[in-house]
Structure 1
Amino acid sequence: MVTAVPVLQPAQGPAPRLRRPDAARLRDLRGQREFQYEADVTEPEQSAWDAFWARVRDAIGNWLISRSYNHFWRWVFYALFVGAGVFIVLRLLEIDFTAMLGRSPRRAALAYDTMAENIHEVDFATRLAEAEAAGNWRLAVRLGYLQLLKTLADGGLINWQPDKTNHAYLAELPATGALRTSFREATRQFEYVWYGELALTPSLYAQVRAGYQALRTQLGRPYSSTSR
């Protein structure tokens, strides 16, 4: 069964009358700023600094799309990034890069076993004279520092033990006074030379030796290769 669709009849009666807005009201609305929809096309004034960076950005942008960058410099930057990444990984893994290239750090020759010396058994006068005569300044600095430790131990200022650190001896000295300051400086110089393998010249060794001499004089024991 098909339902018939009703036919809509046109509205009967007179046509609607359009109401026009009041002319005075329209003029008032046009004068209000809130209803001014014209776009402000005035560009803000650019400072010299902004203009400089704008030129830099434009130059970099033009360079990045240039033929030379796409055919050469881009691969140079890739290689640098890869090299930097490999270097960082090697450093994090604590891998000796010089050893990988077949090179070993230069180490000064030592005249005797330095791992088990007893400062109360070392003949410092003879050892220092031999090291200085041979120009082995690094060994001479170590012997001079051990001689300082012996002087401090003989004076009862530190309790020397083979397994104690240099900074443990520093902590045993009086907290105030020039002695602790002088020994701290002597320790710093020794560690730079011995553990840092700082290359010494005769003039640099003379400066370190002078510092040791001043400290031993302060302790009443002059420093020299002929003193015990």
Structure 2
Amino acid sequence: MLFDSFPGLMPAFPARVRALLVLLLLSAAAGPAQAAPRPVAAAPALLPDAGPAPRLRRPDADRLRDLRGQREFQYEEAITQPEQSAWDAFWARVRDAIGNWLVSRSYNHFWRWIFYGLFVVAGVFIVLRLLEIDFTAMLGRSPRRAALAYDTMAENIHEVDFATRLAEAEAAGNWRLAVRLGYLQLLKTLADGGLINWQPDKTNHAYLAELPAAGPLRGAFREATRQFEYVWYGELALTAPLYAQVRAGHQALRAQLGRSYSNTSR
């Protein structure tokens, strides 16, 4: 018996309990019984359709045309182009023409390289200007400059000895500088007479606006200003006879100013 190996333990249990334990131990040792597999029934075979082939029904063509014409079946939204003005239409045509030209054969084979060359030249010119390199000197040419006897940027008409400076410029044949000195002498005469308020940073046309509109004074000073700007800023070449005419006009204007002062003092 199974319990004979445990003589000190099993007599403590009653007979019924020992019998029940024996049954439990035997069932656990035997293991669960496996049921036999049930056979799977085979699916019935499908028989071929022996009936006639179906006929496709096509909708009526007139009915389809009628449905297509109805608004309820129009699923595409119409894109309306905004109205263009004449100016917008002109620039649209210009853009189209430029676009067509950029994709043309002539541009890709000729004009594109011309534009590349122009861009390179413009870039070199900008670099030379930024580096303050004299481009004309690189080409073997020097700009024409008239020799000046003094610094014109620091001049003060109330400190210049016009008689001496004019004599030196005329003796040297520097007619351009002589015209400038004669014009500055006119400004000094106008400032001494109280007709203008001379300032180093004022323009010649500002002095012209300060003169009285009545009388011939403004017209004469306008002509003297025009001659001075042509000669000094425009670098107009002067000969001795032409300078004589300009100098005569300066002297006549100064004489007119002297008469105006004398009439005012009376």
Please report how far the alpha carbon of residue 89 of structure 1 lies from its aligned counterpart in structure 2 after TM superposition. Answer: 3.3
- Given candidates 83, 99, 124, the residue that maps to 1:86 is 124
Match of 1:149 in 2: 187
1:48 is aligned to: none
What TM-score does the superposition give when structure 2 sets the normalisation length?
A: 0.47
2:55 partner amino acid:
R
Pairwise CA distance, 1:211: 4.7
Residue pair 2:220, 2:253 contacting (<8 A) in 1 also: yes
- Please say if residues 128 and 143 of structure 1, whose CA atoms lie closer than 8 Å, have aligned partners that are also in contact: yes
- Kept in 1, the 8 Å contact 2:230–2:236? The answer is no
Q: Is the 8 A contact 2:162 2:185 kept in 1?
A: no
2:177 to 139, 143, 155: 139
Kept in 2, the 8 Å contact 1:148–1:212? The answer is yes
Matched to 2:105, the amino acid is G
The answer (yes or no) to whether the contact 1:157–1:172 under 8 Å persists in 2 is no
Return closer, same or farther for 1:213/1:20 CA change in 2, 3 Å cut-off: same
CA distance in 2 between counterparts of 1:93 and 1:6 reads 99
Q: Between Structure 1 and Structure 2, whose CA radius of gyration is higher?
A: 2
CA 1:11–1:150: 2 relative to 1, 3 Å: same
Aligned residues: 183
Contact 1:158 1:169 in 2 (8 A): no
The match for 1:61 is 105
Question: Aligned in 2, Cα 1:17/1:153: closer, same or farther, shift over 3 Å?
Answer: closer
The Cα offsets for residues 70-96 of structure 1, whole Å up to 9 and x where unpaired, read as xxx987765444223211333456543
Structure 2 stretches lacking a partner, 5+ long? 1-41, 67-96, 260-266
Matches within 5 A, 1:122-133: 122-124=161-163, 126-133=164-171
How far is 1:144 from its partner? 0.7
Q: CA deviation at 1:145?
A: 0.7
Structure 1: runs of 5 or more not aligned: 30-52, 222-228
- What CA deviation, in whole Å up to 9, does each residue of 1:33-71 have, x standing for no partner? xxxxxxxxxxxxxxxxxxxx9xxx7xx836965xxx6xx
Larger RCO (alpha carbons 8 Å, 6+ apart) = 1
Deviation at 1:137, TM superposition (A): 0.7
Q: Superposition RMSD on alpha carbons, in Å?
A: 4.8
Match of 2:213 in 1: 176
Q: Counterpart amino acid of 1:154? A: D
**What secondary structure, in the 3-state scheme, does the structure 2 residue paired with 1:219 have?**
helix
Shift of 1:210: 5.3
Q: How far apart are 1:15 and its partner, in Å?
A: 2.9
Q: Kindly provide the CA deviation profile for residues 119-172 of structure 1, in whole angstroms up to 9, marking residues without a partner as x.
A: 465242x543443343211111111112101210221112445x4434486177
Look up the match of 1:109.
Answer: 147
Question: C-alpha distance in 2, partners of 1:182/1:100?
Answer: 44
- The 1:7–1:108 alpha-carbon spacing in structure 2 relative to 1, beyond 3 Å, is farther
Change (3 A) 1:151 1:14: same
Higher helix proportion (structure 1 or 2): 2
- Percent same amino acid at aligned positions? 67
The 2-side partners of 1:165 and 1:103 are apart by 34
- C-alpha distance in 2 between matches for 1:140 and 1:21: 105
Counterpart CA distance in 2 for 1:159 and 1:215 is 18
Give the one of 113, 135, 142 matched to 1:97. 135
| Matched residue SS, 2:179 | helix
Q: 1:6 to 1:107 in 2, by over 3 A?
A: farther
Per the alignment, in what secondary structure is the counterpart of residue 106 of structure 1?
coil
The farther-off stretch of 78-87 and 10-19 is: 10-19
